[in-house]
Structure 1
Amino acid sequence: MLKYILKKILAMIPMLLLISMIVFFGLQLTGVDPINFMVSPDVLSANAANVEALRDSLGLNDPVIVQYFHWLGKVVTGDLGYSFDGSSIAETIAVRLPYTFELAGWSLLLSAIIGVGIGILSAIRQNGIIDYVGRVLAVFGQAVPQFLVGIILIQILSIQLGWFPAGNRVSPGAASAFIDAVQHLFLPVLTLTIGMVAVLMRYARNTTLDVLNSDYIKTARSKGIPEWKVYLKHGFRNAMKPVLVIVLFRIPMLVGGSVVIESVFSYPGIGLTMTNAITSGDYPVVLITTLIIAAAMLICSFMVDVLNALLDPRVRLGE
């Protein structure tokens, strides 16, 4: 098992390098000069020598391959560099990244509880009201894009009803910081949760139905074991193993989806930081935030692979 884990960890290194190269050289191919975002047009035309000195100090006149390895060497040593506005990227990430983890963590927890719970109830009461309603909600959650769900929630719950704030994470001068943070978290968490619930609900329902219709469940019932004991001891425990894998499989998609949702709700996480950096041409921030999001998704995929190997020894044996 240790050999399998080490193999997976080592495989992540070239993948991160490849991602960093694609993003770095892709930004160079856009042809956008970051100096244009840093200096006003009047200064560009009147102080050409100073602008050129600024370009040299930032290393923008070096060959692209030199710029890449110079940047990569700093990142490997822990120096994330500075934004074009002069702020430390490491400090920005340290503030913004926990907000993204907070958003993704609550969404994962709530979607797992709600999705798996409704899926199990739908399987137990197959073709009942809960089952029909659950299937309709699952189709809706998978068919409607998350950003559109977020816009609809803002329009109804924020603009029309005024129940929740439409953006940001806190309100200045709030009486209770905790309650205010919960109110700001509610809509973005609900948006991410709806999409996750739809997938987990359908998968938990189908998996539970397969288990409940299996031979060993029929044997347990024929022995006169109480129905609640059949469900709890023989059914749910076996049905939840593949569902747990699906929950972990959704984490990379949750991390990626939070980038869009943070932009919709102006939530100050790592995703909003990246989109703002893209629009302002702040290449150093774009590179670091993209690399962090990619690393988070790779780590989540690594966790899924390890869990699969623990549940099924054939995986780590390469069968």
Structure 2
Amino acid sequence: MSTYSFLIRRVLQALAVVLLVTVVVFCLLHALPGGPARGILGPQATASQIAAFNHEQGLDKPLPVQYVYYLNQLIHGDLGMSYTLNEPVSQLITERLPKTLLLTVLSAVVGLLVAVPLGVWQAVRRNKPVDYVITTLSFIAYSTPVYFLGLILVLVFSQVLPWFPAQAPQGNSVADVLSQPQGLVLPVVAGAATMVAVFSRYMRSATLENLTEDYVRTARAGGTRPRAILTRHVFRNSLTPVVAMLGYYIPVLFGGALVVEQLFNYPGMGLLFWTAAQSSDYPVLLGCVLVISVATVTGTLLADVLQRVIDPRVKAGRS
């Protein structure tokens, strides 16, 4: 199958999944205690007020008609109104999402820059003391909750060693956040720690597997230097499973951002979600769920495309 056909097939699959996500979110909206009207108007609303609200919002129409109306709202960027903030959910997410993306991208970049060479280094020094030490540290980092790790970072690097502020940068824009780089250090490290632990293990396993392949033995027999074999051949082939895993790791990054943002008071979408959960602001919660779901589908699609670019031998039926 050509790359063009592969891309069309993957995009259509992604659109189908996104459509399914909208169905799930729509069902969740109607599964609210007392229905959407009760959730918006509050427990003190009378039956006549609820009936009037349902008629005004079209909630008394058949569910298929309501879903088409809901889908039309989503297409036009309408995610409803926040119960507590009395602002459009789309506006709240638009203000917060870029800052969350900044945090997750920085965490992913730092995590990969550390994990990839670390995994290769472990593979080259397999079963040596340094391999066992790094493996132990990776297991500890992977099993440590992000919240606990963040507290340790604050205690050590903000209280004992006052190098970095305990609170993340504040501001209404990405530029405001970037203007306070010291405040980003601890949130980024907290978000990247688990990624380093996971992806270093993947990179180690992939490198070890490629080191046993026939093309490596052939290159060695031809007199190619070990460093050249590692950098020109093994490294690129080992990146394929790591790139594929990166797309599936996006929801984990967003989940980690939820905890990190709450812990460091970072003004992103994770903190918005946390605040909405505290006040049962369902439109904000479901809007965040929808955005994260779409981001996950998009990340998976990009991972598949990148995997195809890195290794053209990957067929659509096996990826």
- Residue in 2 that maps onto 1:2: 4
2:14, 2:252 → 1: CA distance?
Answer: 18
1:199-210 superposed matches below 5 A: 199-210=198-209
Per-residue deviation at 1:116?
A: 0.7
- Partners of 1:296 and 1:192 in 2: CA distance: 18
Aligned to 2:249, what secondary structure does the other structure show?
Answer: helix
Kindly provide the CA deviation profile for residues 282-316 of structure 1, in whole angstroms up to 9, marking residues without a partner as x: 22222222111100000011112223444254522
**Percent of aligned pairs with the same amino acid:** 32
C-alpha contact (below 8 Å) 2:169/2:177 kept by paired residues? no
**Match runs of 1:6-17 below 5 Å:** 6-17=8-19
Deviations 1:130-176 (A, max 9, x none): 3222111211122222233223323333344443333343289xxx9
**1:104 offset after TM fit, Å?**
0.9
TM-score by length of 2: 0.81
Question: Which deviations, in whole Å up to 9, do the C-alpha atoms of 1:158-209 show, x marking residues without a partner?
Answer: 344443333343289xxx9677632222222111211111111112112222
CA–CA separation in structure 2 for the residues paired with 1:95 and 1:243 = 31
Matched, 1:190 2:199: no
Letter in 1 for 2:18: L
Tell whether the 8 Å contact from 2:168 to 2:265 is kept in structure 1 after alignment. yes
Alignment of 1:143-292 (within 5 A): 143-170=143-170, 181-292=180-291
The equivalent of 1:96 in structure 2 is 96
Structure 1 gaps of 5+ residues are none
Deviation at 1:124, TM superposition (A): 1.9
Structure 1 residues 233 and 34, CA, compared in 2 at 3 Å: closer, same or farther? Answer: closer
- Classify the secondary structure of the residue corresponding to 2:77: coil
Alignment-mate amino acid for residue 204 of structure 1: M
Deviations 1:229-252 (CA, angstroms, capped at 9, x unpaired): 232233323333333333344234
Partner of 1:59: 57
Q: Deviations along 1:78-120, whole A, 9 cap, x unmatched? A: 3334323332333222211111110111111111110011111
Moved more, 290-299 or 221-230: 221-230
- What residue is the counterpart of 1:306 in the other structure? 305
Contact 1:118 1:201 in 2 (8 A): yes
Asked if the contact 1:147–1:260 (Cα under 8 Å) also holds between the matched residues in 2, the reply is yes
Asked if structure 2 preserves the Cα contact closer than 8 Å seen for 1:169 and 1:181, the reply is yes
Aligned pair count reads 312
The RMSD of aligned alpha carbons is 3.4
In 1, distance between residues paired with 2:164 and 2:134? 26
Amino acid at match of 1:100: T
Worse-superposed segment, 82-91 or 287-296: 82-91
Q: What do residues 11-35 of structure 1 show as CA deviations (whole Å, max 9, x unaligned)? A: 2333223323323333443416777
Distance 1:265-1:27 versus aligned 2 partners, 3 A rule: farther
Q: Tell me, yes or no, if the aligned pair for 1:111 and 1:196 is still in contact at 8 Å.
A: yes
- Larger deviation: 4-13 or 48-57? 48-57
Gaps of 5+ in 2: none
